[in-house]
Structure 1
């Protein structure tokens, strides 16, 4: 939901541009919502198509025939009744597993579907009414008009800096990770680079889900030095982009110190989970800005009445 609100805010300039030719706020919000769905769903569909194609090309009929031949030889050397009992036992175990797993699976699918629906609805609503909501929030602050405008401008600057800083960081992690895949001769580096760039939006755990299994496959294949090298490269080079480059990128486009960004990222991910990499720095930076504004704003104190003289 927070991501939907941030995306709605970032789409506000496009909304204002559309306002010149489309007067209906409902129609503008609907068009932007449809465009956002296409922008986010289309790349995922392309990646899934590429994964399916790669899996199909990696299928080796000769290898499959060898496995079937080994299975036939194994069956010939065993009692048919024993094999049948084992197969029935495996079928029963599979049935029991499905009986216990399907409810949780359907529950997870329902939660994901509900989350997507809520995000789409929130994006549409905030695209349509976000300016009114923000003006009401800023107007409720006990600050003079000049400081309200300054705070609104700096918050907008922080939001843009965090979002685009994360995009550049994900791109950098994906490219560096792809370079490591090429150096250590991992198959299908282009596809894995795309996946790593997408997974980099989940800090700390995103990219290891790509280069980690690739390194383990190298180790299992007997390519020990390449596997160890990829593990070290991923942990030292790719992972540190999140800790070093991202705070500096965000600080370059805002007036927030890199240490504040780093503390916000770490604290945000611990409190809010994955979404904390956006929410944490934003909340921490806004909190510090509010402290500064309230520190600068000193309302006139009511003069104390003079003490009575004897």
Structure 2
């Protein structure tokens, strides 16, 4: 075995050891991964502000990081936690009054069956629904606890990322085994996708919620603010979106005898709320990054199943990173092979030309 082959074998063994340890650590620390992804998201959004405070205004790193963390909590997490608390209280009320809810559904089903002959809620379905409602509260409380844990981990990691921002980015440039232009491409793509999804998806969902709220107020829907919150959350879901709220609401109103209100909600939902989604998505795409809808839909489906709520941002990022890595591989290796082939062909032609000249 030659010296070069021996060194290559050592390199492969070393990489296998690194990969094994990396997989082992990721497996054991997977529960903290959503918090890490949240820290990366906030870091990408706030890094320019951090550099400006530290390098231009000459603030201490710890103070600048603390100010950014407090502002992110007040602007992002506090409103979201208030909305989640509102939903939690409603869910708790619905569970504590589940008997009344089931009686109302039975009456609604009987009326629908009498008018249209459709029997939606059989005895078996009602039993499944009752079991589901009974099991919702523990799951909801568990999800709340997991969210609080993820937020604590997120801010813990974010602090050190902000304080050591320059050193961290320089280390990434040094240790990522790619050419500088490909590292730049990778970083730019990550930045664009994170900003597009972290700002774009919630912004579009909030706009749809506001548009829906206007309709709820016009058509006299009870507790319009609560349904505005629910619509804003469901609007972030792929494919179905806000229709998960206004379609059942319209059907319920029609079945309850409020025919014109139900029809108006359905028409307003499909005609105005659905159109606002497409319109504002196109307008925001020019401002915060043009992401293909297929990447967003598939990415959200994959991301939510992998990472939970934060997967709304990082699911599309995974697909985009996969595409970018293919481009980088082409730039890093395939281009070199093509250049070598061109050089060899060029030298071969020169050799033949010299041989012909000698003859």
Task: Quote how far apart the aligned CAs of 1:156 are.
Answer: 1.9
Residue aligned with 2:42, SS = helix
Where does residue 265 of structure 1 map in the other structure?
300
Unaligned runs of 5+ in 1: 52-97, 305-310
Deviation readout 1:91-140 (Å, 9 max, x if unpaired): xxxxxxx9x99987875554343223122223323333345434433433
Where does residue 62 of structure 2 map in the other structure?
26
Deviation readout 1:182-225 (Å, 9 max, x if unpaired): 34321454564356435644556774675467547635753134
In the aligned structure 2, how far is the partner of 1:103 from the partner of 1:157?
38
Where does residue 46 of structure 2 map in the other structure?
11
Matches within 5 A, 1:47-58: none
The answer on whether the counterparts of 1:162 and 1:250 sit within 8 Å (CA) in structure 2 is no
Cα separation, partners in 2 of 1:198 and 1:39, compared to 1, 3 Å = farther
Say yes or no: does 1:286 pair with 2:321: yes
The answer on whether the counterparts of 1:195 and 1:210 sit within 8 Å (CA) in structure 2 is yes
The one of 291, 295, 301 aligned to 2:330: 295
Give the count of matched residue pairs: 258
Provide the TM-score with structure 2 as the length reference: 0.56
More helix by share: 2
Which stretch has the larger CA shift, 227-236 or 124-133?
227-236
Task: Quote how far apart the aligned CAs of 1:6 are.
Answer: 0.5
The one of 302, 309, 312 aligned to 1:277: 312
Where does residue 177 of structure 2 map in the other structure?
142
In the aligned structure 1, how far is the partner of 2:141 from the partner of 2:177?
48
Unaligned runs of 5+ in 2: 1-34, 88-133, 345-359
Where does residue 39 of structure 1 map in the other structure?
75
Where does residue 75 of structure 1 map in the other structure?
none
Residue aligned with 1:111, SS = helix
The answer on whether the counterparts of 1:264 and 1:282 sit within 8 Å (CA) in structure 2 is yes
Cα separation, partners in 2 of 1:239 and 1:273, compared to 1, 3 Å = farther
Where does residue 212 of structure 2 map in the other structure?
177
Matches within 5 A, 1:57-206: 110-189=145-224, 192-193=227-228, 196-197=231-232, 200-201=235-236
The answer on whether the counterparts of 2:173 and 2:180 sit within 8 Å (CA) in structure 1 is no
Cα separation, partners in 2 of 1:279 and 1:235, compared to 1, 3 Å = farther
The answer on whether the counterparts of 2:250 and 2:263 sit within 8 Å (CA) in structure 1 is yes
CA-atom RMSD, angstroms?
Answer: 4.1
